[in-house]
A and B are shown apart, each in its own frame.
Chain A
Amino acid sequence: MVGENKFFDEMSGHNGTVRDAYAAYHDWFAEQDAERLTKKSQDAETFFRRTGITFNVYGQSEAQERLIPFDLVPRILAQREWTKLAKGIEQRVAAINAFLHDIYNRQEILRAGRVPKHLIAGNEAFLPQMLGFSPPGQVYTHIVGTDIVRTGEGDFFVLEDNARTPSGVSYMLENRETMLQMFPELFAKIKVQPVSDYPKNLRRSLAACAPSSAGSKPTIAVLTPGIYNSAYFEHSFLADQMGAELVEGHDLRVVDGHIAMRTTQGYKRIDVIYRRIDDDFLDPLTFNPESMLGVPGIMDVYRAGNITIANAPGAGIADDKAIYSYMPDIVEFYTGEKAILKNVETWRCGEPGALQYVLDNLKDLVVKEVHGSGGYGMLVGPAASKKELATFAEKLKAKPGNYIAQPTLSLSTVPIFTESELAPRHVDLRPFVLVSPQGINIVPGGLTRVALAKGSLVVNSSQGGGTKDTWVLED
């Protein structure tokens, strides 16, 4: 690649010179035969179809399973880049846990006026049922997926803190597995930090959060809403990989003061439940009485201290997009240090001055719903038509408190492989973070999502994004 890149390209910077982290890969790539790579790319797709990695797209009439496209060019981070990022993520996640414990107990940060009360009080993600309670090990976010974007050599920003049930880790694992199978010689040449420990670490981390009543080998189960959920593959994959049970709500009931699952030998007690269902559906006896997916009584067993629920109910208050803009204050309040990782500049549309600014500059901004996820209900100003902008402006004016706005970021690019050549595409990164009383563990790298359409900034798989293997080099 030659010439000026408008966006920071992680392989070739702004000026076309191959960056150090990509040097070895670039050399290897130059020697490859384009036809062979095209063939490999097709092999990868076959491999994914065979392993069954697919996902359902919500809101499409025929909700069929689709394959998330995989690109064979890895996203590569140098060890020192990663070390700095990981330190920032660790600080942020520690602060999030302290924040959650505070919000559900003494609420010092509200008394100190550092976060406005109304953001908590009127927030659906805030669960009064968690007040005055400490979960086992005082851990709220057992698994976090911190979404990070990059705009320059040293410029990383946190886009979102996913503190509820971040998905995507199965893609991270399968992407690496695929790369190892396709290009074993590449991994012999370049030393990449392994990610295959993740399931083992997840198991260990969850076990360390078990209630004190659990024995030395706590029983862990993954609770899934079932096969129609878009991430069902991941649920069964993770259960399988970490040697845990995969259960649905109707497999579970209250037995002797604990939650237990039906087995062929009768009921077996569960100590830790990694639930992949939303708070509202978790327990019809405490939350939504219509829910058929949850486990009646699990909140009572939880408050009695007899089970660990990962992530904790009510943890979503920490990744709420309105709270996000306060994250630098939150980090400082609980750690006493300045936040290492930067936030993206954010306008809270509920504030009068901000609303006017956002309306005036709508075509240059990204506007998101405070409670939305998966790229649904968001506006990307520069990509929107006049009519879309006008419609969205009305929505904004009707419920300003429901939205935040951010500048359109010049997301970094990483090349993808397209019919024989490399073409830059925008990416983000979701590292996966495990929290237990024994510490915070971050898998080196994470899931790189890539917007496959030229110029597109939307990386969500539900909106046509793909994924890449993410490498953190060993020094």
Chain B
Amino acid sequence: MHLTITHTTRYSYETPVHYALQKIRLIPRDTPQQRINDWKVQITGGNREVIYHDQHGNVTELMQIDPGATEVSITASGRVETRDTAGILGKVYGSIPLWLYLQESKLTKPGDGIREIAATLEAAQDKLTGLHDMSARIAEAVKYGSGQTYAETTAEEALKGGKGVCQDHAQIFISAARAAGIPARYVSGYLMMPDRVEQSATHAWAEAHLDTLGWVGFDVSNAQSPDEHYVNVATGRDYLDAAPISGLRQGSGDESMIVSLQVQQ
């Protein structure tokens, strides 16, 4: 499937920026599931300082917002050719050893709730089936909805709250898989909902590693494995490693953010 994507994030600042940096992970790479045809990240109101591969292999840019700016916009756009591999990315490895994806991270530290889910997975005879069952169980336990959780909500907190977004679903899944001894990671990216051009937000899902298949994707929020409607942009241990944009700003004053995302065939 050929997808055309335009993803714009616009920040507005109440008072002119004195000094601020943004770390940007918005450049997808070729995988067995996707081929990037042309892709660019355009910044207005800011300046690219460096570009490099982080430890997960994500192409990462550091951007400085122009001093005195009250607005900055970051647009990632391009075309991606995707294919349906039934959610299987396979045995594709970077510089991170698998065992690292078994370690707890800040947002995926399990509590009692997640351990209980993990125990069921641990007991499952067939791990692939067990992971699918677990995905359904998490979607059941945590209804999709915004407003209840925020960027730094931990997996356990989101599970307790009973309501969350794709980030929370993915992190609960990851946390429980790891607690059951299955390496798992966070994926941030795009999903084309076929019935619309304007997508509401960027998406996130999870990947688990099985010795037999390699990496397999699970989109808890949509109760399916990623197919040709998905574009993988960045991976990490949790949201903090893979966040599309994370920043730091000196000075006071409120900021607001508007995201517009178009994904179409």
Q: 19 more A-B contacts (CB under 8 A) besides A254-B64, A297-B49?
A: A107-B97, A121-B103, A122-B103, A128-B100, A129-B54, A129-B55, A130-B55, A131-B100, A257-B49, A284-B248, A285-B21, A285-B23, A285-B246, A297-B21, A297-B248, A300-B49, A300-B62, A303-B50, A303-B54
A132 contacts B49, C-beta separation under 8 Å: no
**A51 sits at the interface (CB 8 A):** no
List residues of A whose CB falls within 8 A of some B CB.
105, 107, 110, 117, 121-122, 128-133, 253-254, 256-257, 284-285, 289, 296-297, 300-301, 303-306
A301 surroundings in chain B (CB, below 8 A)? 49-50, 62
B55 contacts A131, C-beta separation under 8 Å: yes
A285 contacts B49, C-beta separation under 8 Å: no
Q: Which B residues from 30 to 66 make CB contacts under 8 A with A?
A: 49-55, 57, 60, 62, 64
B52: which of A110, A254, A285, A304 is its contact (CB, 8 Å)?
A304
B100: which of A121, A254, A285, A305 is its contact (CB, 8 Å)?
A121
**B237 sits at the interface (CB 8 A):** yes
Offer 20 A-B interface pairs, CB within 8 angstroms, sorted by A: A121-B99, A122-B103, A128-B96, A128-B237, A131-B55, A131-B96, A132-B53, A132-B94, A133-B55, A254-B21, A254-B62, A285-B23, A285-B247, A303-B53, A303-B54, A303-B60, A304-B50, A304-B51, A304-B62, A305-B52
A105 contacts B95, C-beta separation under 8 Å: yes
B23 contacts A132, C-beta separation under 8 Å: no
CA distance A374 to B53 in the complex (A): 37
- Specify the chain A residue showing the minimal Cβ separation from B62: A300
- Specify the chain A residue showing the minimal Cβ separation from B95: A132
B19 surroundings in chain A (CB, below 8 A)? 253
B248 contacts A300, C-beta separation under 8 Å: no
CA distance A424 to B49 in the complex (A): 59
Q: Which B residues from 44 to 92 make CB contacts under 8 A with A?
A: 49-55, 57, 60, 62, 64
A300 contacts B102, C-beta separation under 8 Å: no
Most A CB contacts (10 A, CB to CB) among B23, B95, B102, B248 go to B95
Shortest Cβ distance from residue A300 to the other chain B in the assembled complex, whole angstroms:
4
A105 surroundings in chain B (CB, below 8 A)? 95
B51 surroundings in chain A (CB, below 8 A)? 304
CA distance A107 to B99 in the complex (A): 12
A285 surroundings in chain B (CB, below 8 A)? 21, 23, 246-248
- Specify the chain A residue showing the minimal Cβ separation from B152: A289
CA distance A121 to B52 in the complex (A): 25
B55: which of A121, A128, A300 is its contact (CB, 8 Å)?
A128
B62 surroundings in chain A (CB, below 8 A)? 254, 297, 300-301, 304
A303 surroundings in chain B (CB, below 8 A)? 50, 52-54, 60
Most B CB contacts (10 A, CB to CB) among A105, A285, A305 go to A285
B237 surroundings in chain A (CB, below 8 A)? 128
Q: Which B residues from 125 to 165 make CB contacts under 8 A with A?
A: none
CA distance A81 to B61 in the complex (A): 52
Shortest Cβ distance from residue A266 to the other chain B in the assembled complex, whole angstroms:
13
- Specify the chain A residue showing the minimal Cβ separation from B102: A121
Shortest Cβ distance from residue B129 to the other chain A in the assembled complex, whole angstroms:
28
A297 surroundings in chain B (CB, below 8 A)? 21, 23, 49, 62, 248
B246 surroundings in chain A (CB, below 8 A)? 285
B23 surroundings in chain A (CB, below 8 A)? 285, 297, 300
CA distance A382 to B202 in the complex (A): 62
A131 surroundings in chain B (CB, below 8 A)? 55, 95-96, 100
Shortest Cβ distance from residue B196 to the other chain A in the assembled complex, whole angstroms:
35
B95 surroundings in chain A (CB, below 8 A)? 105, 131-132
Most A CB contacts (10 A, CB to CB) among B23, B55, B94, B102 go to B55
B96 surroundings in chain A (CB, below 8 A)? 128, 131-132
Question: Contact flags (1/0) for B104-127 with A, using CB distance below 8 Å?
Answer: 000000000000000000000000
Shortest Cβ distance from residue A352 to the other chain B in the assembled complex, whole angstroms:
22
- Specify the chain A residue showing the minimal Cβ separation from B250: A296
A254 surroundings in chain B (CB, below 8 A)? 21, 49, 62, 64
Question: Contact flags (1/0) for B1-42 with A, using CB distance below 8 Å?
Answer: 000000000000000000101010000000000000000000
Shortest Cβ distance from residue A132 to the other chain B in the assembled complex, whole angstroms:
3
Shortest Cβ distance from residue B209 to the other chain A in the assembled complex, whole angstroms:
15
Shortest Cβ distance from residue B32 to the other chain A in the assembled complex, whole angstroms:
20
- Specify the chain A residue showing the minimal Cβ separation from B48: A257
- CB-based closest 3 A-B pairs: A132-B95, A304-B50, A300-B62
- Specify the chain B residue showing the minimal Cβ separation from A132: B95
Shortest Cβ distance from residue B95 to the other chain A in the assembled complex, whole angstroms:
3
A132 contacts B57, C-beta separation under 8 Å: yes
B99 contacts A117, C-beta separation under 8 Å: yes
A117 surroundings in chain B (CB, below 8 A)? 99
B248 contacts A257, C-beta separation under 8 Å: no
